[in-house]
Amino acid sequence: PVKLNVYTPRQQQPQQRTAGTNTVSQVPSAGMGAYHSGVVIGGREYTFGGGASNGSGVVDHVPGKAYGQANGNWQFYQTVDLGKTRLNQKQIQSALSELRTMFPAKSYDLLAKNCNHFSELFCLKLGVSFPNWVNRMAKMGAMMQGKGDFVAQEKAKIQAQEQRRREKEAKMKELKMRQGQLKPEADANAKGVILIQVNCPGGKKARRRFVETDTIGDVMEFVYAYDSMVARKGFELVQTMPRKVFANNRMTLAAAGLKGRANLFVKKKM
């Protein structure tokens, strides 16, 4: 489970609640205030603080007690239950390692990059929702001063990465389906076997065994099944020495003069 511990300045003296004994999820009635926060996971609370150090400002401590110098200025307010993360321990540590690099102590900015920005981004990586009211005041102040939203910028990067991941996954799934539709590869000891290496766009190379009675179209289907960058009817196979363009898909490899080993190149049609 993931929780968020929220603290308020001592001078505000809100109704204090004991850390770890009262889990809530409602928004404070004011909806606008100055808060300090830390993300609780695995029995430790992680937060971000500024300083003159060249190292990371990300620290961890016993949950429910604001860390270091902040402990004298902040008092525990409430715990917000954020649900469960799907990340395993190794993935959580990887996310923390990345965040430690992203949040050096010297980069602290009260409005643009504070403890709540760290908490929100950590929650994003953990796949749980961060309560917007916790950092609303700082974000409004940053907007009024023309400062960018650090978390929003990082969210955009993460979403772009996720989109690329999904696209890559979809392409791999499509290629796997295409490969499943290919005729079986020729046996190495088959009569008239030909080992063909195809040089695809982007430097990718693919090899497969064929027999003399297979066609140029069979080789093209192989290329289509192993390279997502080519369209089924958008390319030709070319041999450089001697130069030949194999435009007839129905031609057998024997009729095309291919035997033993062949090195072909993919040429996209204009």
**Helical spans, DSSP H, in the chain:** 89-102, 115-126, 136-144, 150-180, 216-226
**Helical spans, DSSP H, in 103-215:** 115-126, 136-144, 150-180
Catalytic residue among 115, 117, 123, 200: 115
Q: Is the peptide bond before 184 cis (omega within 30 degrees of 0)?
A: no
Catalytic residue among 36, 117, 123, 200: 36
* Cα–Cα separations (whole angstroms), residue 258 to 178, 223, 226, 241, 247: 25, 17, 21, 12, 14
Is 36 in the active site? Answer: yes
DSSP 65: S
Residue 114 burial by Cβ neighbours in a 10 Å radius (0-12, 13-18, 19+): buried
Token pair in block for residue 30: 């004011």
Active-site residues: which are they? 36, 115
